A and B are shown apart, each in its own frame.
Chain A
């Protein structure tokens, strides 16, 4: 199954509706990208000649060079920080991820996340989990060793959670304890004392979804 997903835009993109109205197809974001991460869409659709990221070809490495070059404001020029990229979010698919199937422990997504420890954390010290601070760069989807269909899908903002998708851990501003819980809460594994060092810092995570 090819996942039906919306278009993953470059960092700092306005909402899809505003992006489509503003983007003038000048390609400067594509040309400034040092990683060949951005492509112009073809065809005759609404999104013709607008830039997109195809995580399985080349993910976005969040160098943040494109927002300031966009002349039209389709990419908001003031967005400079990785954590503000706002491209979307990644979702781990339970039915495909090694950690949920057959007991193979795999931390590839956690290891390669540019916001490691924030966007991808180790729940209970050993299970990779994606939090709501994920910006949707797609690197985890790119490096995911599961194939041919990846165990992670990167989706633009506002997308519905796919089937089998594990809901994101909610990160609150002022958490009270190292309570890391997945949704639905009934299936959450209670935090264990072991593996403290690998857990998300207490100051960053907390609360229920």
Chain B
């Protein structure tokens, strides 16, 4: 089963809608609409709790068992990553959107992702953050959560802009650094919120031997001969041309490589299952 390229082209719309929804959420809540509440630390959606797994981990680090909603919410987020990979990073995360737009604005150049650094970088940040959390007795890693800080801004703003500035300073600082370096370094190497999602995605890819949702490459259709528009399209610097597709732990399922490839041979697809051949119709190709 594959996701049509037309759906992948809607990703930006989804990202923008998520960001816009976040911005109006506190006002909607104040009007009495409480079907969605919270932010990217913990989100309640129509009776289902979701949570950043790292918040539950931080509760544990301080010696407290998280409340059941936080536990279930974190579990749901990890279960989604187990099956769907890092869709949160590619489709939902508001910082991911801003970081991507900056990368486009800076001219779409990206060096190859160093996978070992991507693991080690955020592992070091996460472990140091958890140690600090245990030491100080408060969720320290929340302070450097890019999606968390962005999703807090509207609520802080609604209750008075006077307390917003320090939260905004962090996000603005990240964006300035991202704009200066132009390499999406926070998303690629640092963001601690992605570590547990990466682990879940990696475990999922091992557990089902590639039957979860992932980008897959069909060598027989690859017609570019030396050119790699798929790799050039990847804002994270992954190389999709591999028999297993790009590494599941690092891929955020954005489908940009698939879209780029659809204009050529259609050798890449994003979907479930491990059938080698993709039906052209299914992919939306001629």
Among A30, A31, A36, chain B packs the most CB atoms within 10 A around the CB of A31
Closest to A70 in B: B67
Which among B57-65, B77-85, B119-127, B189-197 touches the partner chain?
A: B57-65
Residues of A contacting B52 in the complex (Cβ-Cβ under 8 angstroms): 24
A39 interfacial by beta-carbon distance below 8 Å: yes
Chain A interface main SS type: loop
Contact partner of B59 (CB less than 8 A), chosen from A22, A31, A46, A49, is: A22
CB distance from A72 to the nearest CB of B (A): 5
A157 interfacial by beta-carbon distance below 8 Å: no
Residues of A contacting B59 in the complex (Cβ-Cβ under 8 angstroms): 21-22, 24, 72-73
Residues of B contacting A36 in the complex (Cβ-Cβ under 8 angstroms): 30, 159
Closest to B54 in A: A24
Interface residues on B, range: 35 or more
CB pair A71–B166 under 8 Å, yes or no, is no
B139 interfacial by beta-carbon distance below 8 Å: yes
B210 interfacial by beta-carbon distance below 8 Å: no
Residues of B contacting A26 in the complex (Cβ-Cβ under 8 angstroms): 38-39, 41-43, 51, 55
B138 interfacial by beta-carbon distance below 8 Å: yes
B148 interfacial by beta-carbon distance below 8 Å: yes
Given A22-B62, A32-B29, CB of A46 within 8 Å of CB of B67: no
CB distance from A38 to the nearest CB of B (A): 8
Closest to B71 in A: A71
CB pair A69–B37 under 8 Å, yes or no, is yes
Closest to B74 in A: A71
Distance of A32 Cα from B37 Cα, bound (Å): 8
Contact partner of A28 (CB less than 8 A), chosen from B44, B64, B138, is: B44
B129 interfacial by beta-carbon distance below 8 Å: no
Contact partner of B142 (CB less than 8 A), chosen from A40, A42, A43, A49, is: A49
B111-138 Cβ-contact flags toward A at 8 Å (1 or 0) = 0000000000000000000000000111
Residues of A contacting B69 in the complex (Cβ-Cβ under 8 angstroms): 70-72, 77
CB pair A27–B155 under 8 Å, yes or no, is yes
CB distance from A36 to the nearest CB of B (A): 7
B19-36 Cβ-contact flags toward A at 8 Å (1 or 0) = 000000110011010100
A164 interfacial by beta-carbon distance below 8 Å: no
A3 interfacial by beta-carbon distance below 8 Å: no
A41 interfacial by beta-carbon distance below 8 Å: yes
Given A18-B64, A40-B152, A72-B55, CB of A24 within 8 Å of CB of B70: yes
Residues of A contacting B51 in the complex (Cβ-Cβ under 8 angstroms): 24, 26, 71
Contact partner of A27 (CB less than 8 A), chosen from B39, B49, B58, B63, is: B39
CB pair A39–B159 under 8 Å, yes or no, is yes
- Chain A interfacial positions (CB closer than 8 Å to B): 17-18, 20-28, 30-32, 34, 36, 39-44, 46, 48-49, 69-74, 77
Q: Which 3 A-B pairs have the closest CB atoms?
A: A42-B163, A73-B67, A71-B69
